Amino acid sequence: MDVNIQMFLPEIVVAFLAFAILAADLLKPRGERKSLARLGIIGSLVAINVLVLTADISGTTLSGLFIQDGVSVFFKILFLLTGIFILYMAQEYEEKIKNFKGEFYALILFAVLAMMFLASSNDFISLYVSLEFLAVTLYILACYTKEESVSVEAGLKYLITGALASGVLLYGITYLYGATGSTEFSQIKLALNGKNFSGFLAIGLILVVLGLSFKIASIPFHVWAPDVYQGAPTPITALLAAGSKAAGFVMLMRVMFTALGSIRPHWVLFISVISALTLLFGNLAAMPQKNIKRMLAYAGIGSAGYLLMGIAAGNTLGSGAIMFYLLTYLFAIAGTFLAIVIFYNSEGSDSIDAYTGLSRRSPILAATLFIGLLSLAGVPPLGGFIAKLYLIAAVVKEGLIWLAVVGVLMAIAAMYYFLLVIKRIYLWQPKNDTPIKVSPINKALLYSINIATLVLGIYPGPFTDWVMAIAKVLF
C-alpha cells in the first residue's frame, strides 16, 4: 500500500489539535474554557498554513481512498475557516451552556476534521466513513445543551433522519457497486464507459442522490433542518449551515461529476426537479417564520436549491459557481450568526420581534445583519448576488431555462422575507432603547466579515478565476 503522509498533513495537525484540547481540558481547573478555543483557532491557522504549503502535492494515496486536488484544497481551506469562526462564536456562547466542558471545542474540531476527510474522499468507503464521522459529532453537538428540552429534541430528530438517510445512501451505494463492481470513483467512471444504463444503476443513482440530500438539507430529507437549526446551540447552527452544507456539496460534486458524469443525461432531469422543488419549498416556507434561526433554516433549504442548480448544470461553470456560492455563504452566515450570538447574549431571545429597532440600539449589529441577510438574498453589489448570477448562467448555458426562471423568481421571494426583517430592524421604533454592548474585538471581526462580503461582490474577479480553474479537475 502506498502512503504519502504529506498529503494528509493538515488532517494530522487538526486531529492532534483536537486531542490536545481534550487533554488540556482535563488538566485545567473548573471554570473558564475560553483559552482552549483560542488554542483551537491558532491551531486551525497553522493547519491552513500547512495545507497551503503542501497544496502542490496532488494525487491519490491510501490505495485510492484519499485524493488531494484543487477542489479538496479549496474545500479544506473553507472548512478550516468555518471552524475558526465557529470556535470564536462558541467561546462567545460558552456561558449560555450549563456544565460546559472543553470537549465542545474538541468536537467542533473533530467535525472540521471529518469535513476535511470528506473533501478528500475518492471512494464510497472513505466517503461513507467520513460522512458518518461528521454526522455522529454533529448529533452530539446539536444536543449539547442537555438541560434544554428543545436541544435534545433537536438532537434526536437529527439522529433519526440522519441514520435513515445514511441507510438510503448505503443501499444506493450497494447497487452502484453491484452495477459497476467497484466503489472507487475513477473506477466507476471507467466501468460506466460504453455500458448500457441498467436497472441497478438507476436504483443506485436515485437512492444515492436521496441519501446525500440529507446533508445539504434539500427535498426529500429536509424536514430535520428547521427543528435542528432552532434547537441546536447557535454556533452549531452556524456550523450546520456553513460547514455541513459545503461538505454535502463536495460529496455531491465528486459523486455526480467524477463518478457518474458520463451518465448525466439520465440524472439531469431528476436533479433539476429536486432543485426546483427545494427552491420553492425553502423560500416560500421561510416567509411566515417568527424565529430568526428557524427562518435561516428555511432560507438554507432554499440555498441548497440554488446550489443544486450548479449540480444540474454539470459543467465547469456550474461547479465553480457552487464553490464561489459556498465561499460567499460562509461569510454571510458567519456575520449573521455572530450578530445573533451577541444579540442573544444581551437579550436572551432569538425571535424576530426582539430585533425591532435594532439599528438604534447597536448600529454595527444592524449593519451586519443588513449585509449578511441581503448577501444571502442575493442583492447587488454583495457576494451572494454574483454567486447566484453564475449559478443561473450555468443552467441557462445547459438549456435548463425553466430552472433559471424558478431561481430568479425565488430570489425575489428571498428578498421579500429578508427585507421584512431589515425593515423591522431599521424603520421600526424599539420597545426599549438601551444600547447593546459589542466588545472591540467583536466589532473588528464583524467589520472584517462585512468587508469580505462586500469585496466578494464588488471585486470577485480573482476568486471566480480561482474557483473556475480548480473546477476543471472534477471532469
Interface characters, 267-286, with other proteins (x: CB under 8 A)? --------------------
Minimum distance from residue 350 beta carbon to other proteins (Å): 11
288 lies in the site for other proteins, by CB under 8 A:
yes
Position among 9, 55, 62, 170 found at the interface with other proteins (CB under 8 A): 170
Q: Which of 44, 36, 42, 38 is nearest to 79 (CA)?
A: 44
- Taking CB under 8 A as the rule, does residue 220 contact other proteins? no
Closer of 165 and 438 to other proteins (Cβ): 165
Candidate list 91, 289, 303, 464; residue touching other proteins; CB under 8 A: 289
CB of 13 to other proteins, least distance (A): 24
Which of 273, 161, 250 has its CA nearest to residue 214?
161
260-111-98 Cα angle (round to 5): 145
Q: Please, which residue, 9 or 152, has the CB nearer to other proteins? A: 152
Q: Which of 216, 179, 310 is nearest to 257 (CA)?
A: 310
219 interacts with other proteins by CB under 8 A: no
Locus of grid cell 433542518? 225
Interface pick for other proteins out of 3, 12, 28, 178 (rule CB under 8 A): 178
Choices 102-110, 163-171, 428-436, 458-466 (CB under 8 A): range interacting with other proteins: 163-171
CA distance 458 to 455: 5
Write the binding mask 198 to 217 for other proteins: x where contact by CB under 8 A, - elsewhere. --------------------
Category of 352 on φ-ψ map: left (φ > 0), alpha (ψ -120 to 50) or beta: alpha
Applying CB under 8 A, which part among 17-25, 34-42, 288-296, 460-468 lies near other proteins?
A: 288-296
CA distances in angstroms from 309 to 197, 207, 410, 418, 467, listed in the order given: 24, 19, 13, 22, 17
Radius of gyration of the chain, Cα coordinates, nearest whole angstrom = 21
Contact between 164 and other proteins (CB under 8 A)?
Answer: yes
Q: Looking at residue 162, what DSSP letter applies?
A: H
Distance CA 352, CA 302 (A): 19
Q: Is 129 in the site for other proteins (CB under 8 A)?
A: yes
Q: Residue 159 to residues 106, 143, 209, 339, 450: CA-CA distances in angstroms? A: 20, 10, 19, 28, 34
Least distance (Å) between residue 163 CB and other proteins: 5
Verify binding: residue 174, other proteins, rule CB under 8 A: yes
* Residue 291 binding other proteins, by CB under 8 A: yes
Task: Closer to other proteins by CB, 148 or 473: give it.
Answer: 148
CA angle 147, 83, 449 (to 5 degrees): 105
Stretch in the footprint of other proteins (CB under 8 A) among 54-62, 127-135, 238-246, 334-342: 127-135
**Which residues make beta-bridge pairs with 68?**
59
φ, ψ of residue 123 to 5 degrees: the values are -155, 145
Residue 195 binds to other proteins (criterion: CB under 8 A): no
Cα–Cα distance for residue pair 82/113, rounded to 1 Å: 12
Torsion angle of C-alpha atoms 224, 226, 228, 229, degrees rounded to 10: 140
State the nearest-atom distance from the C-beta of 390 to other proteins, in Å.
34
Size of the site for other proteins (CB under 8 A): 44
Q: Kindly state the smallest distance separating residue 136's Cβ from other proteins, in Å.
A: 5
Q: Does 54 bind other proteins (CB under 8 A)?
A: no
Which residue, 228 or 317, is less far from other proteins as judged by CB?
A: 228
Residues 142-161, interacting with other proteins (CB under 8 A): 143, 146, 149-150, 152-157, 159-160
Count of helices and strands (H, E) across the chain: 20, 2
CB 336 within 8 A of CB 369: yes
25 binds other proteins (CB under 8 A): no
Which of residues 70, 211, 226, 310 is near other proteins by CB under 8 A? 226
Instruction: Please say which residue, 230 or 450, places its beta carbon nearer to other proteins.
Output: 230
> Is the Cβ of residue 47 or residue 286 nearer to other proteins in the bound state?
286
Q: Which residues make up the interface to other proteins (CB under 8 A)?
A: 124-125, 128-129, 132, 135-136, 139-140, 143, 146, 149-150, 152-157, 159-160, 163-164, 166-167, 170-171, 173-175, 177-178, 181-183, 226-227, 230-231, 288-291, 294
